Amino acid sequence: MAVSITPGRTALLITDPQVDFLKPESVVWDHVGETVEENNVVDNLVKLRDAAREGGIRVFYSPHYYESDEYENWTHLNSIDQIMFDTRMFDRAGSGSAFIPELEPDENTFVCAPHKQLSGFWSNDINTQLRQRGVDSIVLAGMSANLCVESHLRDAVEAGFEVLVVTDATAAAGREALKAAYTNYGFIAHETATTDEVTPRLAQKEVASADD
């Protein structure tokens, strides 16, 4: 089904728009750099952000940070936690956790508390912030495709939101991981679309007429 994109009822939600996913100085650039560049993720996120602002659609960031206390004291690390902790990815005290300059929050951006593990619906205020503003549909993009984006997608659907995932405004730790995400979006999202397809709808320049 086509997701309705309407000011006041739709949010653009971007996960992890941070140096450690989107810039060559990322601690995991060897893993994510290839698909970040192929998909032009930074350019596409900027396009989405600009279109949302133009159309009166609020932008929400669900960022990813860890503190020294967490690196030292967490006890149930799964595989991806182990990688992030070994590399001190998203270290709040370091430069890798910063928002990339192109996506510095502006007056149209609300920055949620950091999510922990993969989904803000389990560990930050994203659900509260969206519901308290009357939002019931989400345009979802960011990093990484099969981990934080997909977990936010799955939980948003369970929480009752309609979700459109922007397939070329995301990337992953390798082609297999990206492909896995695309496969799963096909089952779980209400709609998938490219950046160029969704920007006019965010900007309120054309009425959505697509059937999914």
Task: Specify whether the CB–CB gap between 163 and 157 falls below 8 A.
Answer: yes
Give dist(CA 11, CA 13) in Å, integer: 6
Q: Closest approach of Cβ 37 to its own copies, in Å?
A: 21
Give dist(CA 100, CA 204) in Å, integer: 26
Residue 160 is a binding residue for its own copies (CB under 8 A): yes
Q: Closest approach of Cβ 43 to its own copies, in Å?
A: 26
Contacts 24+ apart (CB under 8 A), 88-92: 88/27, 89/20, 89/27, 89/28, 90/16, 90/18, 90/20, 90/64, 90/65, 90/66, 91/65, 91/66, 92/65, 92/66, 92/67
69 versus 206: smaller Cβ distance to its own copies? 69
Give dist(CA 183, CA 172) in Å, integer: 13
Residue 117 is a binding residue for its own copies (CB under 8 A): yes
Binding mask 67-86 for its own copies (x = CB under 8 A): --xx--xxxxxxxx-x----
Binding residues with its own copies: total (CB under 8 A): 59
Partners of 62 in the beta sheet? 15
Q: Closest approach of Cβ 50 to its own copies, in Å?
A: 20
Residue 212 is a binding residue for its own copies (CB under 8 A): yes
80 versus 98: smaller Cβ distance to its own copies? 80
Please identify which residue in 22, 71, 128, 166 interacts with its own copies, judged by CB under 8 A.
128
Residue for token digits 């309120």?
Answer: 204
Binding site for its own copies (CB under 8 A): 1, 69-70, 73-80, 82, 110, 113-119, 122-125, 127-134, 146-147, 150-151, 154-155, 157-163, 173, 176-177, 179-181, 183-184, 186-190, 212
